[in-house]
Amino acid sequence: MVSYMNVLLYGVGGLVVAGMALLVAFQEKLVYVPVLPGLSKAYAITPSRLRLTYEDIWLTSSDGVRLHAWFIKLFPNCRGPTILFFQENAGNIAHRLEMVRIMLQQLQCNVFMLSYRGYGASDGYPSQHGITKDAQAALDHLCQRSDIDTSRIVVFGRSLGGAVGAVLTKNNPDKVAALILENTFTSILDMAGVLLPFLKWFIGGSSSKGKILNFLVRSPWSTIDVVGQIKQPILFLSGLQDEMVPPSHMQMLYAKAATRNNRCLFVEFPTGMHMDTWLAGGDQYWRTIQQFLEQHAPVKKEVESSQNENGSDHVRHEMDENARVEVEHACYIYSSCNDVPPIRGTALQNSGCIHKQVCTENISLLYQDSDGRCLLS
């Protein structure tokens, strides 16, 4: 019996030591994956492939790293909201272009896509300290531009990008109008226990008040410590079928933010997975974001009045049948709800925030007019 227990203890100890060794040696490769298996680091396509108007932007971070980005505009003089988009940990910004194309059409916005250091055409090697500087360089660039409404800059981060966006938003209360988080983790510390379950006994929780081996994690990305300090409005988009980040992480982030910020909104998408919530959520996904932007990044009244006097850049004309153009994957309008009815306006206890549940529905439209609006088929 004694020998059996010794073997068991040695086995558990060996697993812990092996896990620690893997964590110390390869943690950056686990957290940051600039190159997907079987693909190259270079961009597979550029926005021009999807007929999007864009600029190649080259930035220099505060520590001297050369960074690349794409600034994609709905049209040259668009004064709509500008989305500063931060991607997930794997691949590069080219892999998000189809989603961004639909984002432009649905939200009538501009989108700035940054390649983190070590990703795409950017120099350097990824780290939490470095990527935080990269995000600040991107925001500073946007704030210096004269061709956008700098009061309508909204940060949008998915997964790792949500952690990046949360830090940037907290650090820039006067530059960022609002924050959108989608399928974001509470911290890399907690994700270590998700990916390697036996580590959850040794790593996790707050970076400042966590477990004994937290000091080994070089990129903790403790969003749970940051989100409660954000003063701007926050929209939480959670796919309940997320196979990478447990949906409970988003719920904890929302609960932490809502205790101090009464301008929060939490929306669940029952069929949304880690990477496809924007697609599974359909029209309700885009409508939720659009309403959030209209409320928290509205057009300035003087600009709106000026546009009305000049005929407006956004006048929408009725299109006759001959003017309709069918565009594959251009937009998605949905008709009947599957299984779960929407739950709207359900107030959470002890919170000034609103919780919604959004159902997925069936595609019934793939048409677009010359102004980029979706039309019923």
DSSP characters over 199-221: GGGTS-S-SSS--TTGGG-S---
Q: What is the pLDDT of residues 185-210, one digit of tens each?
A: 999 888 876 666 666 666 656 655 66
pLDDT at 251: 97
User: What is the percentage of the chain residues whose pLDDT exceeds 90?
Assistant: 59
Catalytic residue among 219, 242, 283, 296: 242
Strand partners, 234: 179, 264
Please name which of 331, 294, 361 lies closest in space to residue 152, comparing C-alpha atoms: 294
Catalytic site residue 320?
no
If DSSP codes are grouped into helix, strand and coil, which group holds residue 280? helix
Contact yes or no for 227/234 (Cβ under 8 A): yes
Q: What is the C-alpha to C-alpha distance for residues 49 and 28, in angstroms, rounded to an integer?
A: 32
Q: What is the pLDDT of residue 10?
A: 57
Angstrom distance (rounded) from CA 244 to CA 67: 28
- Global pTM value: 0.75
| Burial letters 131-157, b for 16+ CB under 10 A, else e | bbbbbbbbbebbeeeeebbeebbbbbb
Give the 3-state secondary structure of residue 302: helix
At 206, list the tokens: 């707050």
Q: Which of 123, 140, 207, 274 is catalytic?
A: 274
At 314 the three-state DSSP class reads coil
Query: pLDDT at position 369, please?
Result: 37
pLDDT at 5: 66
As given in the structure block, the two tokens for residue 154 are 């909204």
Angle made by CA atoms 290, 295, 300, in degrees to the nearest 5: 105
**Which residue intervals of the chain are DSSP H helices?**
2-31, 97-107, 128-143, 160-171, 188-195, 223-226, 247-258, 277-280, 282-296, 301-309
pLDDT of the residue at 16? 59
Handedness of CA 293, 295, 296, 297 (dihedral sign): positive
Catalytic residue among 159, 187, 219, 238: 159
Within 67-198, residue ranges assigned H as helices are 97-107, 128-143, 160-171, 188-195
3-state secondary structure (DSSP) of residue 289: helix
Scored b (16 or more CB within 10 A) or e, 308-336 reads: eeeeeebeeeebeeeeeeeeeebbbbbee
Residues 159 and 116: beta-carbon distance below 8 Å: no
CA 234 to chain CA centroid, nearest Å: 12
For residue 51, the tally of other CB atoms under 10 A from its CB is 7
Nearest CA-CA partner of 114 in 148, 81, 98, 137: 137
Per-residue pLDDT of the chain (377 residues; tens, 9 = 90+): 556 666 665 565 556 566 555 656 556 777 899 998 888 889 999 999 999 999 999 999 999 999 999 999 988 888 899 999 999 999 999 999 999 999 999 999 999 999 999 999 999 999 999 999 999 999 999 999 999 999 999 999 999 999 999 999 999 999 999 999 999 999 988 887 666 666 666 665 665 566 666 666 767 899 999 999 999 999 999 999 999 999 999 999 999 999 999 999 999 999 999 999 999 999 999 999 999 999 999 987 655 555 544 444 443 333 333 332 222 232 322 222 333 333 323 233 333 333 343 433 333 223 333 343 333 32
* CA 223/CA 209 separation, integer angstroms: 14
Annotated catalytic, 159?
yes
Cα-based torsion angle of the residue sequence 366, 369, 372, 376 in order, rounded to the nearest 10 degrees: -40
> How many whole angstroms separate alpha carbon 266 and alpha carbon 357?
8
Neighbouring C-alpha atoms within 13 Å toward the C-beta of 325: 9
